[in-house]
A = this chain, B = another copy of it.
């Protein structure tokens, strides 16, 4: 019966080769994902979804990459305040700039949202769109995460990169829907996630068209235009995509409404919540966390059929191999 052995070996090899999610441990979570994709792509099946309608939306911070000990864009903002401080000698005696320069997190916390907005506008506005893109690209190329001592773009989650690829190879269009600034993510999202800038939805400040010495520019203005978080996420999705996703993946209460909007419609849908349960390989946090607080969405998950993905249990590997 040697032919049977060969056949079985060939089959098992082909299965091993075919696993599109090798960093996901076998179990109900992985099965739920592959069963969903199989169902919506099976031509003639009850749950078939035409390729054009296969829209999948992903939060960024804490879903596609690390968001501890603080959102990466906040680390960028603080670095930018320090870099710009020599041009603003008055900052060293003025809050919230003093706190940002000194890394005084207590004073920063006390400055609250108003203080954060002041820092945001001082670092994210006043330049052209092209200049900002270069600043963001330069920073992301050089900055390193304080704990892992790696570039932030090395701290994206390998299982999520696999999932993005798997969905795209099944005809899905993958979008980022983040509370962070779209213009902060776009300079590197295509290279790192395979997601082009036109599929990156995020928060925005105002911009203004101008001609400078005959050269057209967009000038970034110190005024918030849109906050793509919480109830803003479905709004951002509607504005930008104009149709309802069939898959949403988030990790915090900021993603609650995006999950509701995605799964609260007829037809087969999938909602997933990354639960940070792995203090050793990454971080463990949920209800009490300052960044990426996951509380209400976790409570509402069972009734809505959203699947909590445990980093510790469901992922064989967290970060991609170098």
Contacts and interface: CB of A to CB of B under 8 A. Distances in A.
A232 B225 CA distance: 13
A239 B197 contact: no
Contacts of A226: 225
Given A218-B234, A218-B235, A241-B198, A211 B173 contact: no
Contacts of A322: none
A238 B129 contact: yes
A106 interface: no
Contacts of A182: 239, 242
Chain A interface category by residue count = 35 or more
Nearest to A259: B216
Contacts of A197: 241-243
Nearest to A199: B198
A276 to B, nearest CB: 25
B196 A260 contact: no
Contacts of A196: 52
Interface string A256-300: 010011001100000000000000000000000000000000000
A231 interface: yes
B261 A204 contact: no
Contact of A242 (B198, B208, B242): B198
B207 A261 contact: no
A88 interface: no
Contacts of A173: 198
A215 interface: yes
Nearest to A234: B209
Given A182-B242, A216-B234, A218-B235, 19 more contacts: A52-B190, A173-B198, A183-B242, A197-B241, A197-B242, A197-B243, A198-B241, A198-B242, A200-B242, A207-B235, A207-B239, A209-B261, A214-B264, A216-B261, A216-B264, A216-B265, A218-B234, A218-B261, A225-B239
